């Protein structure tokens, strides 16, 4: 069976940190992944995060920004 997904360009190892005073977790993205020309996220971008329990995977997608008209 063929995979429906594109192959990964870069793979890096990350670490998850916990905020000492909250239940918030922070995931670091390695420099070699961030510097790849196909990496679409930039500092300050808003993202949507989903967890797929069947695949045991975190999915990060760009968050669609509402236009001024959509907000009204």
- Tens-place pLDDT, residues 9-63: 678 888 999 999 999 999 999 998 898 888 999 999 999 999 999 999 999 999 9
In a domain, 11, yes or no: no
In a domain, 48, yes or no: yes
Cα(50)–Cα(9) distance, rounded to whole angstroms? 21
In a domain, 47, yes or no: yes
Could you tell me the pLDDT band of residue 70, with boundaries at 50, 70 and 90?
Answer: low
pLDDT at residue 6 in the model: 56
Domain of residue 27: give its range: 16-71
In a domain, 65, yes or no: yes
In a domain, 24, yes or no: yes
The pTM of this model reads 0.64
In a domain, 26, yes or no: yes
In a domain, 6, yes or no: no
In a domain, 52, yes or no: yes
Looking at the 3D structure of the chain, how many domains does it have? 1
Contact present, 51 and 40 (Cβ < 8 Å) = no
pLDDT at residue 36 in the model: 87
């Amino acid at each position: 069976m063929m995979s429906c997904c594109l192959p990964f360009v870069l793979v890096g190892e990350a670490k998850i940190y916990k905020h000492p005073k909250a239940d918030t977790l922070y995931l670091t993205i390695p420099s070699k992944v961030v510097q790849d020309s196909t990496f679409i996220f930039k500092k300050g971008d808003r993202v949507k995060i989903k967890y797929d329990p069947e695949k045991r995977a975190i999915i990060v997608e760009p968050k669609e920004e509402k236009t001024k008209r959509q907000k009204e």
